[in-house]
Structure 1
Amino acid sequence: MVLLREELGDVLRDARRGQGRTLRDISARASVSLGYLSEIERGEKEASSELLASICSALDMPLSIVFTEVAHRARRVERASAPVTLPVPTRSEDVVSAA
């Protein structure tokens, strides 16, 4: 099952680390506590839209890019956990094989 807060946290953490920035730097620029930002990145807390916009601004990253990456990650998780479907014979196939 895909948990949006976990995928979002991973995207934000990857973006921050990719920029070589610290939690302290982003938390100060986004005006969010260091602990709360850490919980968001770990997928333990869900950020409000206002807070998310502030974090994205601190990362110099458009919100649309963050959401796009979250959607790509969610799609990969869904595909990996999708149930395998087996072919089910139709009634006409049952009649042919019985003959």
Structure 2
Amino acid sequence: MGEVLREVRTGQGRTLRDVAASSAVSLGYLSEIERGAKEASSELLGSVCDGLGMTLSELLGLVQERVERVETLTAPVTLPVGPARAADEVSASAA
């Protein structure tokens, strides 16, 4: 979540100080949220979103997209496999 907040903020060309002031969140706390050192309550996230000019649902949508992208990259690869054969078929074909 912090990475997404930072990307939105920097995409707007804004500083931490500017967003902290417009969202009534301390500069240090906002910095810790962006770095992932602190987890913010939904009320605090709402304030930060207001300061960024976005809704909480927009932020959560961006986070969802990020999580889905990461899950896709880390999903196990399945290999095509034929139907299972009985042990006696395997030993007979090896002989």
TM category, shorter: 0.7 to 0.9
Instruction: Tell me which structure has the larger Cα radius of gyration.
Output: 2
User: What is the number of equivalent residue pairs in this alignment?
Assistant: 90
Deviation at 1:59? 0.4
Instruction: In structure 2, give the amino acid aligned to 1:75.
Output: E
In 2, Cα distance between equivalents of 1:35 and 1:85: 45
Q: Is residue 84 of structure 2 the alignment partner of residue 74 of structure 1?
A: no
What's the C-alpha RMSD, in Å, of the aligned pairs? 1.8
Structure 2, unmatched stretches of 5+, are: none
Deviation at 1:41? 0.7
Scaled by the length of structure 2, the TM-score of the pair is: 0.83
Q: Is residue 76 of structure 2 the alignment partner of residue 48 of structure 1?
A: no
Deviation at 1:76? 0.5
Structure 1, unmatched stretches of 5+, are: 1-7
Matches within 5 A, 1:2-81: 8-81=1-74
Instruction: Tell me: higher relative CO, structure 1 or 2? Use CA pairs within 8 A at least 6 residues apart.
Output: 1
In 1, Cα distance between equivalents of 2:37 and 2:76: 27
Instruction: In structure 1, give the amino acid aligned to 2:73.
Output: A
Describe the superposition over 1:20-68 as per-residue Cα deviations: whole angstroms up to 9, x where unpaired. 1110011112111111101111112111000000000000011111111
